[in-house]
Amino acid sequence: MITLQGKGVSAGIARGRLSFLKRTSLSVAKRPIDDVEQEIKRFQAARATAAEQLDELAGSMTDKIGKENALLFEIHRMMLEDTDYTDPIIEIIKTEKVCAEYAVNTAGSRLSQDFADMDDEYMKARAIDIYDVSKRVIKLLSGEEQILEGKDEPVILAADDFTPSETAQLDRSKVRALVSAQGAANSHTAIFARTMGIPAIISFGAFLSEDLSGKDAALDGETGVLYIDPEPRIIKELEEKKERQRQERENLEKMRGKPTLTKARRPMKLYANIGSVSDADAALAGDAEGIGLFRSEFLYLGRNDYPDEDTQYESYRKVLEKMGDRQVIIRTLDIGADKQVDYFKLPKEENPALGMRAIRICLTRPDLFKTQLRAIYRASAHGNAAIMFPMINSLEELLKAKELARAVREELASKGIAFKEDVPIGIMIETPASALISDVLAREAAFFSIGTNDLTQYTLAIDRQNDSLSSFCDTHHEAILRFIRLTCENAHKAGVWCGICGALGADFSLTKSFVEMGLDELSVEPSYILKLRSIIAEC
């Protein structure tokens, strides 16, 4: 038996033969050409057909991977139209007088490498998207088809990496799990695998070699371990775990629709964190009592320009309508730091996490902020909305942000546009400063939601993006727990509620402490809700 450790990105246990994705190599040889104009036309024709294919895919994949995920193919189409992508290709055809296949491959590989070299994990993960788009155009130019080798029995499919197109188009009945040598946890391949419920492990490196093809294998997508020729003992362990998980799911189902009550029968709220409209379906499926954190900045990512007011309004309205009476807390823009967007043209900073981000951008660029606030207020007419400002550090910042919200309300009222007057305005507590002055902030906030991801980063001075510091990152550090306790006490003294929307909220080992501290709400990934409800009932 060989045991390989990778990074589990989609939970689940699977067993089957290991089968490597067969891709016929596409011809990208450097072929000289005589007629440059003709070759550019050939490239443009292939590009136009690729765009049509992607439009079709965006529509047809909705059922399989969800509408928001299928939007990726629209983003791929936008990449194809972006001059940053097309100009270098045309330039190579013109200057080197070579065929379009070679030009697309060369320029596409360079751009893909530029993304792969970026520090930001989100941008790094976009390298495979550029590769995917280029491969699509080359296929059209060369007229070659890439065939995913068909298998009669379902397999564990292996590859160096999977493109989003390949993952989205997988035949679920033929694939039990995915394993790859490379990949990123926040790549679309990982997201699609989770959405489709396919266990997946990435980052095995060179250990996942083609020599293993055809071998019997078993894996645990939660722990990220792949067993080749698993011993009977391992098979038994995994089967038992699978059965335990099935039973646990069955037991947890009994908590569905029940109120969340502590042992002393104090009510708490279990909300969900979402980043897109379709995530609201997952929140409902997970039995969320509301949305505690709608990361609105995801509407701004993966685009070439700002989403306009109507586009944002539509997204907020849809989430509010889906959630009905349940509260939806929309966190205003939290761009900057780890979430960089080119069109914001933010200055390059030495320490982006300590730089121009979140509310600082919004207060510096009120027009941008007011556009978002207008969209949120307009949508508020359609449900139970609340607004939450990220990264508030001082009373002045909160008052300025609230003043802009007031100006937006006045503007809408003067135009006779429908909105709710009394949308609660709360804040995130994400810095030691805000936790320490939470007594002052509580006078002006309708609620607090503690962002433990950033609170940990700023309290322990540990960059949350830097994996190499993980051994120093004690998420249970007494300083963080004291800040949470203090914030909760100050909130209650002022009569406002206090929750947690950072990852610590789903740390089951702390649930009892949070119940004892008196926290009113936990906002977590939807899949944790039933489990948390059952734990809280015992605390």
Kindly list the distances between the CA atom of residue 484 and the CA atoms of 275, 450, 487, 535, in Å, as whole numbers in the listed order. 24, 7, 5, 20
Which helix (H) or strand (E) segment holds residue 254: the answer is none
Which of 289, 334, 397, 521 binds ligand PEP (CB under 6 A)? It is 334
Residue span 288-317 as binding mask against ligand PEP, x where in contact by CB under 6 A, dash where not: -----x-x----------------------
Looking at beta carbons only, is 228 or 484 nearer to ligand PEP? 484
- What the block records as the tokens of 473 is 């990152």
Phi, psi torsion values for 216, nearest 5 degrees: -70, 135
Looking at beta carbons only, is 98 or 291 nearer to Mg ion? 291
Determine whether 501 is an active site residue.
yes
Matching residue, tokens 């564990």: 156
- 265-293 burial, b at 16+ Cβ within 10 Å, e below that, comes to eeebbbbbbbebbbbbbbbbebbbbbbbb
Distance CA 146, CA 144 (A): 7
* Contact partner at residue 452 from Mg ion, ligand PEP, none, CB < 5 to 8 Å by partner kind: ligand PEP
- What the block records as the tokens of 454 is 């950033």
Matching residue, tokens 């949305």: 291
Which of 453, 465, 513, 534 binds ligand PEP (CB under 6 A)? It is 453
CB of 454 to Mg ion, least distance (A): 4
Looking at beta carbons only, is 220 or 454 nearer to Mg ion? 454
Catalytic residue (choose from 188, 362, 382, 498):
188
Which helix (H) or strand (E) segment holds residue 396: the answer is helix 395-414
Restricted to residues 486-525, the positions that interact with ligand PEP (CB under 6 A) are 501-502
Stretch that binds ligand PEP, among 8-16, 208-216, 359-367, 445-453 (CB under 6 A): 445-453
Distance CA 7, CA 180 (A): 10
Looking at beta carbons only, is 451 or 505 nearer to Mg ion? 451
Catalytic residue (choose from 99, 362, 498, 501):
501
Stretch that binds ligand PEP, among 61-69, 104-112, 433-441, 449-457 (CB under 6 A): 449-457
Distance CA 467, CA 469 (A): 5
Query: Is position 451 an interface residue for ligand PEP (rule: CB under 6 A)?
Result: yes
Determine whether 476 is an active site residue.
no
Looking at beta carbons only, is 287 or 334 nearer to Mg ion? 334
Query: Is position 307 an interface residue for Mg ion (rule: CB under 5 A)?
Result: no
Distance CA 519, CA 536 (A): 11
Query: Is position 336 an interface residue for ligand PEP (rule: CB under 6 A)?
Result: no
Residue nearest to Mg ion (CB): 454
Strand partners of residue 291: 272, 328
Query: Is position 430 an interface residue for ligand PEP (rule: CB under 6 A)?
Result: yes
Query: Is position 338 an interface residue for Mg ion (rule: CB under 5 A)?
Result: no
Stretch that binds ligand PEP, among 18-26, 126-134, 320-328, 452-460 (CB under 6 A): 452-460
Query: Is position 340 an interface residue for ligand PEP (rule: CB under 6 A)?
Result: no
Looking at beta carbons only, is 430 or 520 nearer to ligand PEP? 430
Q: Is 123 helix (H, G, I), strand (E, B) or coil?
A: helix
Q: How many CB atoms lie within 10 A of CB 331?
A: 25
Phi, psi torsion values for 381, nearest 5 degrees: -70, -15
Query: Is position 499 an interface residue for Mg ion (rule: CB under 5 A)?
Result: no
Restricted to residues 398-437, the positions that interact with Mg ion (CB under 5 A) are 430
- DSSP state letters, 26-84: PP----B-S-HHHHHHHHHHHHHHHHHHHHHHHHHTHHHH-HHHHHHHHHHHHHHH-HH
Residues that bind Mg ion (CB under 5 A): 430, 451, 454
Residues that bind ligand PEP (CB under 6 A): 293, 295, 334, 430, 451-454, 501-502
